[in-house]
Structure 1
Amino acid sequence: MYSQDIKKKQTAIPSNKQEVKKPIQEDSIKNSLAETPADTVKLDTIKVKKNALNGKVKYKAEKYTKIEQKKKLITLYDKAELYYQDVELKSGIIVMDYEKNEVYAGRIKDSLGNYTQFPNFKQGSNVIEPDSIRFNFKTKKALIWNSRSSQGEFNVKAAITKKENDSVYFLKGARFTTSKDVDNPEYYFQTNKIKFIPGKKIVTGFTNMVIAGVPTPLFLPFAYFPLSKETSTSGIILPSYNDSNDKGFSLQNGGYYFALSDHYNLTLLGDYYTNGSYGVSVQSSYANRYNYQGNVNIRFENNIISERGYPDYSKTKIYNIQWSHSQDSKANPNSTFSASVNLGSSEYFKETINQVNVGSSLNNTLSSSISYSTVFHTVPESRISLTATHSQNTNTKAINMTLPTLQFSLDRIYPFAINDGAKKGIFKNINLQYNLNGKNSFITTDSLFFKPEMFRDAEIGFQHTIPLSTNFKIFKYFSVSSSLNYEEVWYFNTINKQYDDNLSTVVTTDVKGFDSFRTYSSSTSVGTTIYGTFNFGEDKMIKSIRHVMRPAISHSYTPSFEKYYDTYATDGSGTMQKDYTRFEGGMYGAPGMNSSNFVGFNLSNTFEAKVADKDSTKTEPKKIMLLNNLNLSTSYNFDATELAWSPVRVSGGTQFFDNKLSANFGATLDPYAIDNSGNRIDVYNINNGGSLFRMTSANLTMNYSLSSSDSKKEKKNSQGKRNGGREDDLFGSDIDVGSVRNSQFDDEDQGEDAVTEFFRSKLPWDMTFAYSLTYGNNNREKKIIGNSIMVSANTDLTPKWKAGISTGYDFVQHGVTFTQLRFERDLMSWRMDFNWTPFGDNASWNFYIGIKSGILSDIKWEKRNLTNQ
């Protein structure tokens, strides 16, 4: 501290006083009443010196604070902190010159002579951690030595940094990387000159890529890296290079990304092969919070195999359209709109040049649905929905489509329930509904999809149903439900059959025009629930078994509607007649010619046990489900002249090992025998020298999922499931080369603590197991027609290595099912993986290595080989 200096007194030299006459100025505005003289007081011409600082300074330090008033310095030492305007500075030592508006900060040495307490300079949202810094508050310029800063996904370190102003930095001797350790990165880009604008861009001069401290021959004369604070920005998507055995060299998935707004985007991608094959795709995602979200993916490919003139030359055009849309429940509680579309060429997933889509290529069905529904709050309440559906078999190339399907329904009406009171008894429980279903249906093939021929053969129909039902109890324990159903069907296209003498065959002709038929039926069922408990004693391991039975008897009756039937001659003589109905082949069926009078029987069972808990501190026994269900069902038709009994169907299921293993089984038992041709005859099997029932089929399926930990990881195979594959990886994981592939590793950092913990614990792993067995005996073949097992397993070989396998074996065909091997290596800032399908129609291998960071995702190398290309 310095005290105030006292200056010596000096004798003042007297001056000669001179009388100065002050001039009197007249006011330019004359006043008749008075005249006032002008003000003779002069303004002070001495400029007042402003304070050196334009704001309040806050500071503190742990060891000492030194203020030098004479030198205008403030020195802070050891855990020093300084706050001024928008600047926050923390360091080992801070020296502030408030006369020059400058501050200096640096590190200090500890007791061992090591540097510690490096400066941390924060201005606004920009943070720099250098060895030392010199900053001017007035000009906003700074010199920074060995600075370390983070901008977006980049970590930047520079020998000397010059801060020109709040938005421009110049760096010399700099390196930038996405590695978390900027001092010892596994890779970085080295450059001598950088112009750095925080939050906007990095522009460099000559740039060289260095891996593991070794300079590589990869360099650029200059480089530009955008640094946007926005969630997404528009930009070029660099293509990836590849080669194919029969398509030549290629550039794949190059294009442009348009960040159109915060609610939607657009991606345009293209592929080109040197033999002329090409592909284009349009992708878009959109969302509006609390309203809706969805995505669209449209792709077209022109695939050429080999070259023109060669025997294996082929040229195909394939496409695929995917659209997913969902509406938030908060958007409109009365109306909903949703879409799930997956349609295109039947060969797309087998021939596409852009995906290795195993699950989708093994699936033979594509389906779509677009629906809108709304509720009208009338009395009674009504609902209406419009749906467009599409179902496509990729093997037969047959397409069934409805455009649209109309559904309208009125809520239940209780005509005998007064003022909505308690609905008890037969009459008060009587209720009726009205349902309307209309379709505009198309049945076509892949080659005629959305062509004029498809719309020419459209079928239109309407179905009206009015169910009248009631339910009540009898004898206290029996529940009875009864219904009477009325149905009316409208068609606009019927048929007519007659024998053509010229063609000597039966000719079926379409008849255009409105026609309808009406049917009715009734059904009644009686059921109850029976409980039984078998106690074995409190001292037993199995204390009791509880058996729940739910028997039910039902009756259904449908009369004959032979009035809707006509006859036609089957030969030229006209003596052979056959019955037919003009509504044959209609979308809502046709009226039956024969009456049916069925009595059905159904019995469902569940078995549950109480066992002693392994934990001796628990007083209550543990409940274990032995059988989730065991069902038996059959029926008898009183109006049938033969084969009145239906086969008995037995099915059941249970779970083991804390519900990790699920097993389901079923069998069909036929009471009738068959002839030498395999046809059922009206003779009981026991009367034909056999047993009481003839087992015609049986099946058993088991699924088992387990892992080294109880927590279940969510599979990242959502795109494969959307394409029609499985959610798990029993059929392998899909490889989409059009995007950055998903990693098997978690997002959290795998640090040294994780490595140490890994070797102290069990080896992490998970496994999915599926088994299927099918027995067939329709024609006394008595053989296993299906017997296969599939296994998928994943494990961590080390904290940085993951491996997985999907395989199986077919015991009937005596061959290995689809097999895939997966390996992935976490290289810190990089990732490497290898997928191999060694044999089969989807035999391929794919190798990938690249930087994880999205901003440098184009720095990668990928090599793949597909046998189907």
Structure 2
Amino acid sequence: MGEIYGQDINKKTTAISPASTIKNSKTNPEKSLESATDSTSSLVKKDSTTKKQAFLDGKVKYKAKDYTKIDQKKKHIILYDNAELYYQDVELKSGIILLDYEKDEVYAGRIKDSAGNYTQFPNFKQGANVVEPDSIRFNFKTKKAIIWNSRSDQGEFKIKAALTKKENDSVYFLKGARFTTSKDVDNPEYYFQTNKVKFVPGKKVVTGVTNMVIANVPTPIALPFAFFPMSKETSISGILLPSYNDSNTRGFSLQNGGYYFALSDNYDLTVLGDYYTNGSYGMRFESNYAKRYNYRGNVNIRFENLISSERGYPDYSKQKIYNIQWSHSRDSKANPNASFSASVNLGSSKYFKQSINQVNIGSNLNNTMNSSVSYSRNFVGAGPQSRLSITATHSQNTQTEQIDMTLPTLQYSIDRVYPFVKKDGVKKGFFKNINLQYDLSAKNSISTTDSLFFKPQMFENAKVGLQHSIPLSTNFKLFKYFSASSSLNYKEVWYTKTINKNFDATQGKVVDTEVKGFDAFRTYSFSSSLGTTIYGTFNRGANKKIQAIRHVMRPSISYGYTPSFEKYYDTYAADGSGTMLKEYSRFEGGIFGSPSSSNSNSLGFDLSNTIEAKVTDRDSTKTEAKKVMLLNNLNLSTSYDLNANGVRTLAWSPVRVSGGTQFFNDKMNVNFGATLDPYAIDNSGKRINVYNIDNGGSLFRMTSANMTLNYSLSSSDKAKKSDSDQTKRNGGREDDLFGKPNLGNEQKSLFDENEDKGEDTVSEFFHSKLPWDMTFAYSLTYGNNNREKKIIGNSIMISINADLTPKWKTGISTGYDFVQKGVTYTQIRFERDLLSWRMDFNWSPFGTYANWGFFIGIKSGVLSDIKWDKRSTIIR
């Protein structure tokens, strides 16, 4: 009988399920990155019936130029030479790529070329972030990475770090990092060096101890910590550091310091201030706003409280000055039938001349300030179209401090109506061209001075009026070659107040008494004109240098008649006896004038001329002759009073001559004008009814003349772009004949337009060419109204800019007044492009506004506060 023996088998331990393995892996996500193998997962035997985990979470695309090797045992895929790998939002290009699909990790690095040099550096892109390191290790599951010698661009910054740890999609930790705005991050002209960094792409960089390095030399400039904003927005809020100055009369000062508020995508605010130790201070509020396809504009408000010397001294003075600027424009796409615009520049007449802020120096030569705010709307309907416009204007003479304003002017008009045109719409002949329209104009005009501006007294003498106008006109051809027109105009004027003149015995003089209440007058007038065009050509032959000369004349004669409206005139006693009576109209001084007490009956004569030539082109390949303008325009005009008789003399009005032309391929513009009087004058300078030629003189007596000349040219024959926009807004010139404003770090660099052209190239000193540009202006005014034969104005201004080297620029703006016998405002300037930095020096060596300024700073707007800005203070 056989026996059966059994072996004791120990009880098995509980196996670890695959599910728990995955769970544990998620609990410690860094384990797969830090350990070469996972000891727990390698000991686990998976049930053959369990569904296998998918390779990564999506499709992986890869390729390589040399070879692709798959190692099933090690779970590796090796790509060599121009390797590329694409997975989800990750793009990786490198010399060699190793993909461990068991650990969901990838490694990329450089390879050596035949000369032993490293090439094909990794390029890692995830979303919008791009990193170019020496090598990288990345986990697809945890999104963590370790990066060696990474290089990346974040806004205006370029960042390089010896070691970078990517914690997640939004946080990086860097070690041994440098930050710079230089184009070459490996060899920058300056950078900030730090060892510990927390980096949030697109938002911020927070560092530990940070040291500034210039030309690889550490500087004493160091911070215990630093914060660099990396916002992808167009602008961010931040502090604007001031510049330091000193003055003998106001003490030490800080200028243009403040804060920039990036309030939203549509508007911002800059608050700047100046402070002087003697108590003077200034404030500036600047705001820009815009809404795409709707409107854009900016507002500047400036105020200065100026104190000279100290209280108790004889030269002590105190004054307050201000300036307000507003510019607004509306996009035509917003509403094609309505528009609104504003250009405002008002304030103290002496603001730009008395201001001690360096920003305003370039505007101290401006003599006028003008403003205009307007709204217009077209009304489109079945009938005639009409349009409405409301405008407020302001004109201020900073020399006389006289201010003229209209608050507001209203214009309303209805388009022309042709009552005799049939349904076919043909307008031909005298009757079919008869048309009429309606115009309404209302004004509230104010004249005041700078001291009464926006005070109650300013509105006391305001003039208010409203004018209706209905013109009836027609035009037609006469004898085929003549164009004729006739018009009859009816006007009705309404006023809210008139005047009454009478002799006041108590005061012993004539007194004007204001009479409040509605009053109106009505007038009408007739006018007609006849004109033609005459062409004349003088041909010299096709083989001549000047082949032909063409002269175009446009003569015209006009007639105007306005009857007398004596019914609107009264008389007043000019003395106490009451025997001396004078006529006056109660509407005198009105904004739309007053009716005439005598009829007007005159003929007008006008002649315009244009002369051009056909010349042989210097380019022998061109067969067509070249047209050259010899005289762009030459206009003559005068009139004759048909009512002139023995009592009313001086029938002819002075002849006005004006013209203009261009030279040197339209680079030089010349304009001239003169007034020629046919009558002589007596010893007191009064015109008499004797022709000047009959009084022993010439046919005409030149009473005034003027000429202006403007010439701009450059080595590249391109128009020079003005960078004095702020000076123009302040009421100055578009060019730099008045110099350039001293804007410090706010000034746009002359090199800005060249910053994105790549690396600086070394050439043969401009190939023997020196880039330059020049602006030249000359003005001459002659006066001879009373035989003084005097040059009233005679001045010349010039501005020259030149590139001494590819990085050095220089310029000068100056002029000379031959009447005052003195040099005008002069400015000498130098600028140096220091790649990531900019340096400039401005110097006005003499005159009332003598000053100098030196600036050096980083170009980048993010680091614009890293600067040294030293400027002298103007003493006034």
**TM-score band w.r.t. shorter chain:** over 0.9
* TM superposition shift of 1:862: 0.5
Q: What do residues 632-666 of structure 1 show as CA deviations (whole Å, max 9, x unaligned)? A: 11111121311111111122211111111111122
Deviates more, 1:425-434 or 1:347-356: 347-356
Aligned partner (choices 637, 640, 644) of residue 636 of structure 1: 640
* TM superposition shift of 1:852: 0.3
**Compared with structure 1, are the counterparts of its residues 435 and 293 closer, same or farther at alpha carbon in structure 2 (3 Å cutoff)?**
same
Q: What do residues 822-863 of structure 1 show as CA deviations (whole Å, max 9, x unaligned)? A: 211000000001111112222211111100001000101101
Aligned partner (choices 366, 389, 393) of residue 385 of structure 1: 389
Where does 1:36-115 land on structure 2 (aligned, <5 Å)? 48-51=51-54, 53-115=56-118
* TM superposition shift of 1:351: 2.2
Counterpart CA distance in 2 for 1:810 and 1:393 is: 21
Aligned partner (choices 660, 664, 675) of residue 657 of structure 1: 664
Aligned partner (choices 112, 115, 121) of residue 118 of structure 1: 121
Q: TM-score with structure 2 length normalisation?
A: 0.91
1:676 aligns to 2:680 (yes or no):
no
**Compared with structure 1, are the counterparts of its residues 585 and 312 closer, same or farther at alpha carbon in structure 2 (3 Å cutoff)?**
same
Deviates more, 1:130-139 or 1:234-243: 234-243
Does the Cα contact within 8 Å between 1:358 and 1:732 map onto a contact in 2?
no
**Compared with structure 1, are the counterparts of its residues 498 and 334 closer, same or farther at alpha carbon in structure 2 (3 Å cutoff)?**
same
Where does 1:107-506 land on structure 2 (aligned, <5 Å)? 107-358=110-361, 360-378=363-381, 379-419=383-423, 421-506=425-510
1:648 aligns to 2:655 (yes or no):
yes
Match of 1:568 in 2: 572
Deviates more, 1:45-54 or 1:302-311: 45-54
Secondary structure at the residue paired with 1:686? helix
Counterpart CA distance in 1 for 2:142 and 2:624 is: 77
Match of 1:539 in 2: 543
Match of 2:25 in 1: none
Does the Cα contact within 8 Å between 2:720 and 2:773 map onto a contact in 1?
no
Where does 1:746-825 land on structure 2 (aligned, <5 Å)? 746-749=753-756, 754-756=761-763, 759-760=766-767, 762-825=769-832
Match of 1:4 in 2: none
Match of 2:26 in 1: none
Deviates more, 1:236-245 or 1:702-711: 236-245
Q: Structure 1: any 5+ residue segments left out of the alignment?
A: 1-12, 17-42
Match of 1:835 in 2: 842
Q: What do residues 260-303 of structure 1 show as CA deviations (whole Å, max 9, x unaligned)? A: 32222223333322222222232222222211111112222222
**Compared with structure 1, are the counterparts of its residues 866 and 253 closer, same or farther at alpha carbon in structure 2 (3 Å cutoff)?**
closer
1:600 aligns to 2:604 (yes or no):
yes
Match of 1:3 in 2: none
Does the Cα contact within 8 Å between 1:772 and 1:787 map onto a contact in 2?
yes
* TM superposition shift of 1:51: 4.0
Output the amino acid matched with 2:504: D
Counterpart CA distance in 2 for 1:54 and 1:692 is: 101
**Compared with structure 1, are the counterparts of its residues 274 and 602 closer, same or farther at alpha carbon in structure 2 (3 Å cutoff)?**
same
Counterpart CA distance in 1 for 2:780 and 2:462 is: 42
**Compared with structure 1, are the counterparts of its residues 108 and 421 closer, same or farther at alpha carbon in structure 2 (3 Å cutoff)?**
closer
Q: What do residues 662-720 of structure 1 show as CA deviations (whole Å, max 9, x unaligned)? A: 11122211111111111111111111111111111122211111111133242122221
Counterpart CA distance in 1 for 2:299 and 2:660 is: 40
Counterpart CA distance in 1 for 2:238 and 2:361 is: 31
Output the amino acid matched with 2:859: K
Aligned partner (choices 842, 850, 858) of residue 857 of structure 2: 850
* TM superposition shift of 1:186: 0.7
* TM superposition shift of 1:49: 4.9
Counterpart CA distance in 2 for 1:742 and 1:277 is: 30
Output the amino acid matched with 2:529: S
Secondary structure at the residue paired with 1:232? coil
Counterpart CA distance in 2 for 1:609 and 1:736 is: 47
Match of 1:32 in 2: none
Counterpart CA distance in 1 for 2:689 and 2:543 is: 55
Counterpart CA distance in 2 for 1:138 and 1:307 is: 73
Deviates more, 1:447-456 or 1:628-637: 447-456
Identity of aligned residues (%): 75
Output the amino acid matched with 1:520: Y
Match of 1:30 in 2: none
**Compared with structure 1, are the counterparts of its residues 458 and 834 closer, same or farther at alpha carbon in structure 2 (3 Å cutoff)?**
same
Does the Cα contact within 8 Å between 1:523 and 1:557 map onto a contact in 2?
yes
Does the Cα contact within 8 Å between 2:714 and 2:720 map onto a contact in 1?
no
* TM superposition shift of 1:506: 1.9
Aligned partner (choices 575, 586, 599) of residue 590 of structure 2: 586
Does the Cα contact within 8 Å between 2:244 and 2:871 map onto a contact in 1?
no
* TM superposition shift of 1:745: 4.9
* TM superposition shift of 1:757: 7.0
Does the Cα contact within 8 Å between 2:745 and 2:855 map onto a contact in 1?
no
Match of 2:714 in 1: 707
Match of 1:860 in 2: 867
Does the Cα contact within 8 Å between 1:253 and 1:738 map onto a contact in 2?
no
Counterpart CA distance in 2 for 1:339 and 1:773 is: 34
Counterpart CA distance in 2 for 1:80 and 1:143 is: 19
Counterpart CA distance in 2 for 1:86 and 1:619 is: 62
Secondary structure at the residue paired with 1:65? strand
* TM superposition shift of 1:761: 5.5
Does the Cα contact within 8 Å between 2:243 and 2:870 map onto a contact in 1?
no
Output the amino acid matched with 2:429: G
Match of 1:726 in 2: 733
Match of 1:511 in 2: 515
* TM superposition shift of 1:259: 2.5
Instruction: State the superposition RMSD in angstroms.
Output: 2.2
Deviates more, 1:45-54 or 1:764-773: 45-54
* TM superposition shift of 1:50: 2.1
Secondary structure at the residue paired with 1:854? coil
**Compared with structure 1, are the counterparts of its residues 571 and 418 closer, same or farther at alpha carbon in structure 2 (3 Å cutoff)?**
same
* TM superposition shift of 1:753: 6.0
Counterpart CA distance in 1 for 2:331 and 2:232 is: 28
* TM superposition shift of 1:738: 7.9
Counterpart CA distance in 2 for 1:758 and 1:292 is: 47
Q: What do residues 450-495 of structure 1 show as CA deviations (whole Å, max 9, x unaligned)? A: 2222233322111111111111111111111111111111111211
Counterpart CA distance in 2 for 1:228 and 1:311 is: 54
**Compared with structure 1, are the counterparts of its residues 421 and 141 closer, same or farther at alpha carbon in structure 2 (3 Å cutoff)?**
closer
* TM superposition shift of 1:210: 0.9
Q: What do residues 391-441 of structure 1 show as CA deviations (whole Å, max 9, x unaligned)? A: 222222222222221111111111222236311111111111111111122
Does the Cα contact within 8 Å between 1:843 and 1:866 map onto a contact in 2?
no
**Compared with structure 1, are the counterparts of its residues 868 and 593 closer, same or farther at alpha carbon in structure 2 (3 Å cutoff)?**
farther
Does the Cα contact within 8 Å between 1:366 and 1:392 map onto a contact in 2?
yes
Counterpart CA distance in 1 for 2:494 and 2:598 is: 21
Deviates more, 1:799-808 or 1:742-751: 742-751
Q: What do residues 511-551 of structure 1 show as CA deviations (whole Å, max 9, x unaligned)? A: 11112212221111111111111111222221111111111
Does the Cα contact within 8 Å between 1:735 and 1:741 map onto a contact in 2?
no
Does the Cα contact within 8 Å between 1:740 and 1:857 map onto a contact in 2?
no
Counterpart CA distance in 2 for 1:444 and 1:651 is: 34
* TM superposition shift of 1:363: 1.8
* TM superposition shift of 1:746: 2.3
Does the Cα contact within 8 Å between 1:355 and 1:738 map onto a contact in 2?
no
Q: What do residues 712-738 of structure 1 show as CA deviations (whole Å, max 9, x unaligned)? A: 242122221111111111111122358
